[in-house]
Chains A and B, each alone.
Chain A
Amino acid sequence: MFSFRYALRETGQNLWRNILLAVATVVTVGVSLAMFGGFMLFQVAVDSATARWQDGVEFIVWMNADTGTDEDAGVRNQLDESPGVQHWEYVDRQTSYEEFQEFFEDTPEVLDIFTAEGVPPYFRVVPVDPDPDVVEELGSQFKGKPGVRTVTFAGDVIRDVQNLSNRAGRVLFIGSIVLLAASTLLILNTLAVAISNRRTEIEIMRLVGATKWFIRIPFMLESLVQGLLGALVAMISNALLRNYVIDQFSDADGLQLLAGFKVDDAAMLQVNLLVVAVAVGVAVVGSVLAVAMHLNE
């Protein structure tokens, strides 16, 4: 029969005996997970800011809010017949209004002004050739057509933001993977030291008939605690990043693009859950390796 009280007590004692090493491990795991979480949050924020411009969309044909079916059909036909259009997507008035609500959820004064009827439907268009001059010429063909309010282009700023986010994201991702590998090794080493410190105890446990798992579980719990404490550090870092960096961008006056640069509660929860899952993964891999290398009778 396994005693949880025993396992918890031994885990606590192990952590206390090697407190400096345990703190170093928690900090390393925390920093690497914070980088990983930062990468995820950054991606979420950029995706949120450039949502309409994902998947190669180069220009948007905005219809009038009170546009009729015939006028919509006219634009559809022109998009279908244009050889320069690879494909397009129609966003109806209701979906457009939902996107609008999401985009301005933090500014109720804007939401109060508009109703679903006041928000226009639009066409997201992916051209065959993404060359800016070709896109400009293609998009301009829709200006002034019946029912069309305006045509907007992705432009250099959007692409620059996406490119920058891709590059920064790659650096953060690679950095976090390297640090997570280092964290795994550090957990392995911390457990190796803990096992070495308790060699006599382990020998006695084996000889009096303790099962392998009874001996292993306190060590594995120790690494799990370190991983979860690291995840806690990362979650605090995520909260600070969201509240003091990302939200500051979205509050910047006059930068319409950055108004969408934000992370909502659901995305935050998803990122934090992913951080915890990665922390558990790192702890399990580190402890399984340590047990296999140092506790395999």
Chain B
Amino acid sequence: MIKMEKVTKVFKGDVVALRDVTIDIGKGEFVFLVGPSGSGKSTFIRLLNREDVPEHGRIFVAGRDIGGLSGWRVPYLRRNIGYVFQDYKLLQKKTVAENVAFALEVIGKGPQVINRQVPAILELVGLSRKMDRFPHELSGGEQQRVSIARAFVNRPLILLADEPTGNLDPNTSVGIMRLLERINEIGTTVVMATHDSSIVDSMRQRVVELDRGMVVRDQARGVYE
């Protein structure tokens, strides 16, 4: 599903964010990206979403080399990739249902699709009863559930999550991880950057550790350290 071949990303000032990274992630895998701050986790995720392009190497998503993708095709790539933020990035003036519907609306889906898919995804994340609430009326965990619902409502092949539990307490984090696990079980490939060792240790999924832009460990059913 995701393949990186000798990928190097250098930012201005010769800061090497990723160095010669080669990795292969299969369909339906759950992968934790771990490593200290500045190790290249976020850059890894941004490259998969074509928010950035590498200086060297090639990146394949669903068999397509996304480095050579022309600008107008990037949005269509992103429709196959859900994105979950650490700070949720919900629209404060829209309700829960409107926040989720927004993701469908802006890719041109009609009211029929929206009316069918939004309640279904809110059911999946356990927020059916709060679909008319505004983000400020929800707890942090609930807001992150809305964010996940928005990322997954279009049923993407891949879900990228950048520190999704970074702002949550341990109990709430467990709930969010159960949700991501459920989404993964449906067949979605999940790539999650995290600093949360307890979650990584408890789930025993594949762990890719980055350090100064290099893959220093790639372990099936791994632990944080």
Tell me if B75 counts as interface (CB < 8 A to partner A): yes
Cβ–Cβ contact B106 & A205, under 8 A: yes
Q: Tell me which of B72, B89, B108 contacts A3 (CB under 8 A).
A: B108
Give the 6 A-B residue pairs with the shortest CB-CB distance, closest first: A209-B79, A1-B108, A209-B78, A210-B106, A208-B103, A209-B75
Minimum CB–CB distance from B153 to chain A (whole Å) comes to 9
A200-222 vs B: 1/0 string, CB under 8 Å? Answer: 11011111111110110000000
Question: Cβ of B72 and Cβ of A208 under 8 Å apart?
Answer: no
Determine chain A's interface SS by DSSP, over half rule: helix
Asked if A6 is at the interface (CB within 8 A of a chain B CB), the reply is: yes
A214 to B105, CA, bound (A): 10
Evaluate whether A204 and B105 lie within 8 angstroms (CB atoms) in the complex, with A209-B78, A209-B79 already known. no
B residues in contact with A3, CB < 8 Å: 105, 108, 110
Q: 14 A-B Cβ contacts within 8 A?
A: A2-B108, A3-B105, A3-B110, A200-B89, A204-B91, A206-B78, A208-B83, A208-B103, A209-B78, A209-B79, A209-B107, A212-B71, A212-B72, A297-B71
Interface size class of B (residues with CB under 8 A): 20 to 34
Write out the residue numbers on chain B whose beta carbons fall within 8 Å of the beta carbon of A203.
89
Q: Does B11 contact A (CB under 8 A)?
A: no
Chain B, 144-156, contact with A by CB distance < 8 Å: what is the 0/1 string?
Answer: 0000001100100
- A203–B89 Cα distance when bound, in Å, is 9
- Pick the contact of B154: A205, A208, A215 (CB < 8 A): A208
A297 nearest in chain B by CB position:
B71
Q: Which residue of A lies closest to B147 (CB)?
A: A204
Expressed in whole angstroms, the minimum distance between the Cβ of A220 and any Cβ of chain B is 16
Residues of B within 8 A of A209 (CB): 75-79, 106-107, 154
Give bound CA distance, A2 to B147, whole Å.
Answer: 24
The reply to whether the CB of B102 lies closer than 8 angstroms to some CB of chain A is yes
Q: A200-B89, A209-B76 are in contact. Are A214 and B49 (CB under 8 A)?
A: no
Residues in B whose Cβ lies below 8 Å from that of A207: 49, 51, 78, 83
The interface residues of chain B lying within 8 Å CB-to-CB of A215 are 106
B75 touches A204 (CB 8 A): no
Q: A200-B89, A200-B91, A201-B91 are in contact. Are A208 and B49 (CB under 8 A)?
A: no
Given contacts A2-B108, A3-B105, A204-B102, contact A211 B75 (CB under 8 A): yes
Task: Give Cα A200–Cα B150 distance, bound, in whole angstroms.
Answer: 14
Q: Name the B residues within 8 Å of A211 (CB-CB).
A: 72, 75
| Residues of the B chain whose Cβ atoms lie less than 8 Å from the Cβ of A2 | 108
Bound CA–CA A203/B150 (angstroms)? 13
Choose from B49, B75, B91 the contact partner of A210 (Cβ within 8 Å): B75
Contact B76 A6 (CB under 8 A): no
Interface residues as binary, B83-106 with A (CB distance below 8 Å gives 1, 0 otherwise):
100000101000000000011011
CB 8 Å contact bits of B13-37 with A (1 = contact, 0 = none) = 0000000000000000000000000
CA gap between A6 and B75 in the complex, in Å: 18
> B residues within 8 A CB of A1?
108, 110
Given A200-B89, A201-B91, A203-B89, residue A208 in contact with residue B106 (CB < 8 A): yes
Other A-B pairs beyond A204-B103, A209-B106, 14, CB < 8 Å: A3-B110, A6-B106, A200-B91, A204-B89, A204-B150, A208-B107, A209-B76, A209-B154, A210-B75, A211-B75, A212-B72, A214-B108, A215-B106, A297-B71
Contact (Cβ within 8 A) A208 B79: yes
* Contact indicator per residue, chain A 2-13, by CB within 8 Å of chain B (1) or not (0): 110010000000
How many Å lie between the Cα of A207 and that of B74 in the bound state? 10
Kindly state the separation between the CA atoms of A3 and B150 in the bound complex, as whole angstroms.
19
Separation of A94 and B105 alpha carbons in the complex (Å)? 66
